[in-house]
Amino acid sequence: MSLTLAILVSGRGSNMTAILQAIAERRLDAEVKIVFSNNADAPALATARGYSIATASIPHKGLPREAHEEKLLEVLRPLEVDFVVLAGYMRILSPRFLREFKHEQGYFRVINIHPSLLPAFPGAHGYEEAFEYGVRVSGITVHLVDERVDHGPILAQMAFGRLSDDTLESFKSRGLKLEHKLFPEVLQNIARNGVQYFQRTTSVVAHDSPVASDLATASKGVTA
């Protein structure tokens, strides 16, 4: 099935570009109906227009969250997209907004990419915090969005090691390359096979519970 998408961005838009490029090269069977930004100056908007994609921007400054989201919904509702894709959208979406995109299976049709191996290092500075912490392995996560920030069913993850001579810049740039590869691949996997993820079983494994591998076997779905 071909997916229809709305992409939400706040800045540079390199992930958005990777998605548009994958569509142009027919690696991703999808159509981007709109690129939306809360920042009228986001470089991503000009890039999207270069790909002949419709764009819209509504600055959030001075508007209560609900009012801003309502305006965004007015843009999105008529488009009836399959998925809202967050590609560096630096706004938290309220449960009320998410409910508009509830799938009959219970998840929200909203997908985010985050620059860490969630649940480690949520928030706006995933690369920086992982690097400063001194992790040996970090990574990126593509996940369905739920009511919590940088949280929700994990669709796919990729890990990368920190090299001994890494600077924050080289660490970030290796991660970003993986983001550009993974995001279109996950979307294409959804286009082909639908949404698939491991159901969470329990947040705490009690002493006499089945071991993690049994839990994984018992859970439904596979990662992208």
Quick check: 182 binds ligand GRF (CB under 6 A)? no
Comparing CB distances to ligand GRF, the nearer of 11 and 210 is 11
**Structure-token pair, residue 56:** 């819209």
Stretch that binds ligand GRF, among 57-65, 96-104, 112-120, 208-216 (CB under 6 A): 112-120
What string of DSSP letters covers 63-100? S-HHHHHHHHHHHHGGG--SEEEESS--SPPPHHHHHT
Burial class (CB in 10 A: 0-12, 13-18, 19+), 61: exposed
Q: Which of 60, 114, 143, 180 is catalytic?
A: 114
Contact by Cβ (8 Å): 35, 54? yes
Q: Does the active-site annotation cover 60?
A: no
Comparing CB distances to ligand GRF, the nearer of 15 and 157 is 15
Comparing CB distances to ligand GRF, the nearer of 74 and 147 is 147
Instruction: Give dist(CA 107, CA 204) in Å, integer.
Output: 22
- Smallest gap from residue 176 Cβ to ligand GRF (A): 6
Comparing CB distances to ligand GRF, the nearer of 56 and 215 is 56
Instruction: Give dist(CA 197, CA 195) in Å, integer.
Output: 7
Which residue of 3, 5, 15, 38 would you call a contact of ligand GRF, by CB under 6 A? Answer: 15
- Smallest gap from residue 39 Cβ to ligand GRF (A): 11
Quick check: 12 binds ligand GRF (CB under 6 A)? yes
Quick check: 45 binds ligand GRF (CB under 6 A)? no
Comparing CB distances to ligand GRF, the nearer of 112 and 189 is 112
Which residue of 7, 14, 157, 188 would you call a contact of ligand GRF, by CB under 6 A? Answer: 14
Site string for ligand GRF, 76-95 (x = CB under 6 A): -----------xx-------
- Smallest gap from residue 138 Cβ to ligand GRF (A): 12
Residues that bind ligand GRF (CB under 6 A): 11-15, 87-88, 113-115, 179
Catalytic residues: 114
